[in-house]
Amino acid sequence: MEPAQLFYVDGSPFSRLCQTLIIDWELPVEVIKLEWPLDDDFFNKNPLGQAPTLITVGETIFPTSQITEQLLAMTVVPVAPDFDPLADRQMLLTILAMGDAMVAANQITRSGLRQTEENTYGINIVERHNMRIEHTLVWLEERCKKWLINERVSVCDYALACLLLWADTQSYLDWRKYPKISRVVEELATGDSFAQTVPNPC
């Protein structure tokens, strides 16, 4: 049987989350780096044309939340980070949705897109993305104890760290004003799996 394959893009915080889980859960998954921008042929693997994408036992799995659950199913014995797909789902999906907002706002800004006609939508899209990000960080800070979920490091902590460390590479977002979140991210950033998945400079 061929090993599972994770297709990833260097620098993607969502890809990095999956890579760190593969390392720390010691999973037999081959990681395959894709060049950015992705070739149009990748839509044949993932209709969203996005990485990460996991292929295992003839099945193609995406998006990131589904990949994390599949990786968990591949573990043999419980090992950190913890993950309860049912109990932790709301927090994980909220963090990943915040990540989508971060990436979208950054893409609009870096691609040079600007308003060219009257805004009839009623809101400034980038400002609304940034509001979602800030309110989510406040929500997470309020719930954070030693880790985001009580006293155990979880996939939610990994996801948050990957996103906020990505924000640093984009000179985007002052997340260190949240002391509990900062402690979580800084502690994880020194771990082996995070050291092994530091993105290459653009």
- pLDDT tens digits for range 12-22: 999 999 999 99
Q: What is the pLDDT of residues 159-195, one digit of tens each?
A: 999 999 999 988 778 999 999 999 999 999 999 999 9
- pLDDT of residue 89 exceeding 70, the answer is yes
Q: Report residue 201's pLDDT band, with 50, 70 and 90 as the boundaries.
A: low
- pLDDT of residue 121 exceeding 80, the answer is no
Q: Tell me the average pLDDT across 23-29.
A: 96
Q: Report residue 57's pLDDT band, with 50, 70 and 90 as the boundaries.
A: confident
The full set of domains in the chain, from first to last, is 4-73 (3.40.30.10), 89-191 (1.20.1050.10)
> Burial, 38: exposed, middle or buried (Cβ in 10 Å; 0-12, 13-18, 19+)?
middle
Q: Report residue 112's pLDDT band, with 50, 70 and 90 as the boundaries.
A: confident
Stretch among 36-45, 118-127, 153-162, 189-198 having the lowest mean pLDDT = 118-127
Predicted pLDDT of residue 128: 92
Q: Report residue 1's pLDDT band, with 50, 70 and 90 as the boundaries.
A: low
Mean pLDDT for all residues in the chain: 92
